[in-house]
Amino acid sequence: MPSRKRKTGYTLDASDFLVPGSPNFESKIDSLLKEGNIVVTAVARSALNSSLELAWLESDMEQEDRGAAPAALFKQLDASVRKTQMLLRQIKRYPGTKSIGCDMCAVGDGTVDVATFREMKFGKALSVKHEVPFTSEIKSDETVGKTAKSKNIRAQQAALDNKLIVMISRFQMLARLRLEIARKQPRKKRGNQPEHDKSAIVAHAACFFRQYSTEELTNYSDGPFAKFCRSFYVIVTRSRLGPRGLEKTIRAEIRKPTF
């Protein structure tokens, strides 16, 4: 299947994605393919299902963004993370603390958890501790006898032997946090906000249509592309749409493709 690229150069291939928690679109796929005059094949069905899931995820994230925290709080958090990054770089220059940029921990101790996308899709939940009490006091083992100390070390080693150990880059985690802050930070909205939801969903519909349909992309309300986009939108949002709905959004997508 040919893949397309975003403006950033990222290769977009919807069949590579599985979206945990998305609705089951299976019953709608064949009729949606026929709506766009697209041959029903196993590859097309799989890719369309992934495109629907991605569109649903983006629409769902837009809904979350509308209930975001105040912009000022995002700015304060970003400033604090940026300062932490700077201090970590400084302390990493000293030989005794050069390893502070990484952390090793066992899967299941509450710091990190792992699962495949398939496991998550079929219900496996990831679990971590969101709040960990902080204390600056470090207990000393000086008062513990040598025998007790040895037994304690052996018990800890035995418990770790069969656990999966991961190494985490604190620098990377802080960088990822800043990216997430930038993505979630509310911005001033112009015009009718639901129009952005429409454009995101139509963009995913158009990306799939370009790859799998032999039909030309036209904005005629009774054309295969317009019909496909409207049905795609209704399935993703579970909302009603008139026969001439999405006209403005479809024209914009044809004039300037998103993907």
User: Which region among 2-16, 68-82, 159-173, 224-238 has the lowest average model confidence (pLDDT)?
Assistant: 2-16
Whole-number pLDDT of residue 249: 93
Q: What is this structure's pTM?
A: 0.48
Note the pLDDT tens digit of each residue in 98-147: 899 899 888 888 888 888 877 877 778 888 887 766 665 555 555 555 56
The larger pLDDT score, comparing residue 148 to residue 170, is at: 170
Among 5, 6, 57, smallest CA distance to 236 is for 57
Q: Are 67 and 137 in contact (CB under 8 A)?
A: no
Q: Are 140 and 148 in contact (CB under 8 A)?
A: no
Output DSSP code: residue 101. G
Q: Please determine, for residue 12, whether its predicted confidence score (pLDDT) is greater than 50.
A: no
The token duo for 134 is: 């902080």
| pLDDT bracket for residue 188 (50, 70, 90) | low
For the chain, the residue count is: 259
Q: Are 47 and 11 in contact (CB under 8 A)?
A: no
Domain spans in the chain, listed from the N-terminal domain onward: 4-67+192-255, 71-134+163-184
Q: Please determine, for residue 230, whether its predicted confidence score (pLDDT) is greater than 90.
A: yes
Q: Please determine, for residue 91, whether its predicted confidence score (pLDDT) is greater than 80.
A: yes
Among 191, 189, 187, 209, smallest CA distance to 257 is for 209
Could you give the residue ranges of the DSSP H alpha helices within the chain? 26-35, 42-65, 71-91, 117-121, 146-161, 170-184, 194-212, 224-237, 247-255
| pLDDT bracket for residue 153 (50, 70, 90) | low
**For the chain, percent of residues with pLDDT exceeding 70:** 75
The larger pLDDT score, comparing residue 199 to residue 60, is at: 199
The larger pLDDT score, comparing residue 77 to residue 244, is at: 77
